[in-house]
Amino acid sequence: MTTTTPRQRLIEAAEQQFRRFGYRRATVEDVTRAADTGKGSFYLHFPSKEDAYVAVVEASLERFLVKAEAALHQPGPVPQRLRALVAVTADHYGDDELLRASLFGEAALVDGAVARRTADIQRVQIRELLAEALEVGKTEGSVRDTVDVASTSTLLFEVGWAVVRAELDNSSDLPLDVALDTLNDVVGLGLIARTAPGESTTP
């Protein structure tokens, strides 16, 4: 039987309230009432409402990272796995308003300073996943050994998020599958290890 700690109960209650009211409108009193505890317990675990919100975002992000890691660890060349990651991201963030608001800084739901703090957490985690995938690709020979992992993972994050945001905002003329195929052609194929002249490129 799994025992829920007081901190976990507060995070679950805070997630309920933040999803229901948004960061701006939800109060510490709302959270403690939902968790059936007092303010003393809340402040024992979180210095502020902002810290509780960050803990909620981190818990939600962990759920996303499970899917992201599965996409990046599936069989196939790294560019194909990166394409799968963008698709998984668009799907997950499309369904998770709280996580989306914290990354994109949607003013109606979260303050700018809090959004920047939680967005940084997400950027770091996802770039680390991308860097890991690129290192694997270099080791297995599907990614050029001259690719700079740090700068490439940062660029892939920014480009991938632009595609995801356009999909979530319905601001792109391209369907997601077309955008992903194009991204794979333009970016993904540039990562692929080049063969010597005359050498077959087929597996």
Q: Could you give the C-alpha distances from 110 to 10, 58, 118, 126, 167, in angstroms and in order?
A: 19, 15, 10, 21, 21
Domain spans of the chain, in order of start: 1-46, 57-191
Tokens of 167: 């999909």
Q: Could you give the C-alpha distances from 2 to 8, 89, 94, 153, 195, in angstroms and in order?
A: 12, 29, 30, 37, 53
- To the nearest whole number, what is the mean pLDDT of the chain? 83
Name the DSSP letter for residue 3.
Answer: P
Tell me which of 201 and 169 has the higher pLDDT: 169
In the predicted structure, residue 183 carries a pLDDT above the cut 80: no
- Residue range 1-46 forms a domain whose CATH class is mainly alpha
**CA atoms 148, 154, 160, 166: torsion sign:** negative
pLDDT score recorded for residue 2: 55
Tell me which of 80 and 31 has the higher pLDDT: 31
- pTM as predicted: 0.73
Which CATH fold would you assign to the domain 57-191? Tetracycline Repressor; domain 2 (1.10.357)
Side-chain-facing half-sphere of 171: CA atoms under 13 Å: 7
In the predicted structure, residue 114 carries a pLDDT above the cut 60: yes
- Residues 134, 152: contact at Cβ < 8 Å? yes
- Report how far residue 141's alpha carbon sits from residue 181's, in angstroms, rounded to the nearest whole number: 22
In the predicted structure, residue 201 carries a pLDDT above the cut 60: no
pLDDT score recorded for residue 109: 65
